[in-house]
Structure 1
Amino acid sequence: MTSGPHPTEGEQRRARLTGIGLMCGAVLTFACLDASAKYLNGYMDTLQVVWARYTGAFIFALFIFNPVSRPGLMRTTRPVLQIVRSAMLLGSTITNFLAFRYLQLDQALAILFSTPFMVAILAGPILGEWIGWRRWVAILVGFAGVLLVTRPGVGGVHWAALYSVASAVFYALYIVATRVLSRTDTSDTTLFYSNLVGAVAMLPVLPFVWTTPEDPFVIFLMVVFGAFGSLGHYLLIAGHRLAPASVLAPFIYTQLVWATGFGYFVFGDVPNRWTLAGAAVVIASGLYLLHRERVRGTA
């Protein structure tokens, strides 16, 4: 028995469950990416780690998305914005990887989870998506959660928490630019430029920071490192094709579980009560922002 042109309720449910599974897979690969970056930081300069991330991602992605198999892949109506957006992602990656030199994975990630609040603030003047007083309250509560993690001025987290804050700002600008580009360019095109710009930008820096790895595991990790990023974005895109963003967004926060696990088993980091409390506040505020988006969408 075949279904009609419109998917049945059961088919929609299966599609959403598949999308959620893909989203969880994407989040796991991003956690692997972060843990690999922190590990490689102990063997080489952070900029070399960033180069490995983008070069590996670019090469890996070429097997899936390339201008030969997809002739229109590099066609964009807004090339300058594509470059600016990719530069924002590169800035976020560099500052995030620098933070990993000094912070635990769960601490850096808890601060990075403030990105949705910054996006909500920037979306008004840039995208015309103004927010009401309820979401302003959620944003202020979310930033209070970030302060719980960083505890500025009380001998709390290392000063390198500023790297994570900068990473969140860069990433928020990247997300806003991505929303603008989604109106004209395909996801494949945008992903291609992200990897291309990052790989090209880091190449001139490489001779000044290069350290030849000798440990076979480090070499292996450098090879597969970029694949984590590309695979994660690929799963993310595939998941959003099957389920609405409002359904998938809460599962982003499961990355904190993976980050805490990697931090404990790989690096011996135990999350303190301030990090856990701050992360809980940030996640709760982010989920409320998501709820308000769904309410607005329904209205």
Structure 2
Amino acid sequence: MSPNARGALFMSASMASFTLNDAMLKTLSDEMSMFQAVFLRGIGSTVLLIALAAAMGLLRLRLSPRDRVMVAVRTVAEIGAAYFFITALFHMPLANANAIMQALPLAVTLAGAVFLREPVGWRRLSAILVGFVGVMLIVRPGAEGFSIYSVYALAAVLSVTVRDLSSRMVSAETPSMTVAIAASVGVLVFAGLGCLGETWQPVSTAGWAALLAASTFIVGGYLFSILTMRVGDIAFIAPFRYTSLLWALLLGLVVFGDWPDPLTLAGAAIVVATGIFTFHRERKLARVQVVVPHAGPPSAPASVDNPGDSL
């Protein structure tokens, strides 16, 4: 397989893993609180991540002062993303929550232009505006189906945007797995503190099976997202992240009996189309950039673990 084909396969596998994790967590919404579910999942996923990082030789705890700050900021943003998204997931259809999250690449592109002064032309800015119109079709403020949990999903998009911007500022010397472990530990501690104010619920056999599956799937999502960033052309691979919406539609229908209404589907289609156009423009512009010979490769962000997914 070509590097691009392998990258596309890894991206698709990452999206499937993260969406299956979301579905497993959602099955627990009638059995336990969000904090208890995330805490129990966090124990399993953190242990698996540490073992995996140790086996791969990627467990590095000594970071530069700047990287420590950036990893801390990223971890706080990860905690916010997990809280807002999983709370929304517990109270709204899987496909609807996932569809709102598809606005993430557009939000990251816009935030990169505003805060990191990354160049964004009028075509991509227009695509971003159209994409957010699609988001409004999904959320529909003031409509009968609108709820506070739609706002939670939007807050998750903002949190993951902050997470991804801080990821770009982590140096290449810090392994992605170290950053992922920091995020997992942060979410675990946050969920544990949330459990202190709640009554602990007994976990059924099916509940333990769902928690084990969620822990395994989210680690698979981390691993495949790291592999994704190591092969192929990211501008070619990135659009395959939208396969998560297909998984969410399928799992929502088969597992939960949910299917989005036509306006939600139309909004999701607009968001996906504008996101793919944005990636296409970035790829086209990358081709015409002047390459300075012997300048050496630019510093790459240490953790580009798939945006909006490691929840």
Q: Normalised by the size of structure 1, how large is the TM-score? A: 0.90
Quote the residue 2:32 is aligned against. 44
Change (3 A) 1:182 1:264: farther
**1:175 corresponds to which of 164, 178, 194:** 164
> In 2, distance between residues paired with 1:54 and 1:247?
32
Partners of 2:136 and 2:114 lie apart in 1 by: 25
Q: Which residue of 2 aligns with 1:138?
A: 127
Q: 2:266 pairs with 268, 271, 277, which one?
A: 277
Structure 1, 253-262 or 44-53: larger mean CA deviation: 44-53
Q: Distance in 2 between matches of 1:38 and 1:196?
A: 21
- Structure 2: state its 5+ residue gaps: 289-311
After TM superposition, give the deviation of residue 179 of structure 1 in Å.
Answer: 1.1
Paired position in structure 2 for 1:76: 63
Structure 1 ranges of 4+ moved more than 6 A: none
Comparing both structures, which one devotes a greater share of its residues to helix? 1
Tell me the distance in 2 between the aligned counterparts of 1:256 and 1:88.
Answer: 23
**Contact 2:14 2:225 survives alignment (8 Å):** yes
Superposition map of 1:83-162 within 5 A: 83-162=72-151
What does the per-residue CA deviation read over 1:23-81, in whole Å, with 9 as the maximum and x for residues that have no partner?
Answer: 21111111101111211122111111222333221111122113x97486112222122
Deviation readout 1:228-283 (Å, 9 max, x if unpaired): 11211101111221222112111111111111111111111022101110000000
Cα distance in 2 between the residues matched to 1:202 and 1:214: 17
Identity rate of aligned residues, in percent? Answer: 29
**Residue identity matched to 1:60:** L
- What do the CA deviations read for 1:194-238 (whole angstroms, capped 9, x no partner)? 112222333233232353334201012123322211211101111
Q: Which residue is 1:24 aligned to?
A: 12
CA distance in structure 2 between the partners assigned to 1:251 and 1:224 by the alignment: 23
Would you say the 8 A contact 1:76–1:189 is kept in 2?
Answer: no
The residue matched to 1:56 in structure 2 has which SS? Answer: helix
Q: What stretches of structure 1 of length at least 5 have no aligned partner?
A: 1-12
Aligned length: 286
Worse-matched range after superposition: 285-294 or 15-24: 15-24
**Pairing 1:202-221 to 2, within 5 Å after superposition:** 202-221=191-210
C-alpha distance after superposition, 1:134-193 (max 9, x if no partner): 111111100000011111113233331001000000011111111111444221221121
Moved more, 35-44 or 151-160: 151-160
Say which is worse superposed, 70-79 or 255-264, in terms of deviation. Answer: 70-79
Question: What is the one-letter code of the residue matched to 1:18?
Answer: R
User: 2-side partners of 1:223 and 1:71: how far apart?
Assistant: 24
Q: CA RMSD in A?
A: 1.8
Match of 2:2, as an amino acid?
R
Retained in 1: the 8 A contact 2:78–2:160?
A: yes
Q: By how many angstroms is 1:85 displaced?
A: 0.3
Q: What amino acid is aligned across from residue 18 of structure 2 in structure 1?
A: F
Say if 1:35 and 1:262, in contact at 8 Å, map to a contact too. yes
Q: How far did 1:19 drift?
A: 2.1
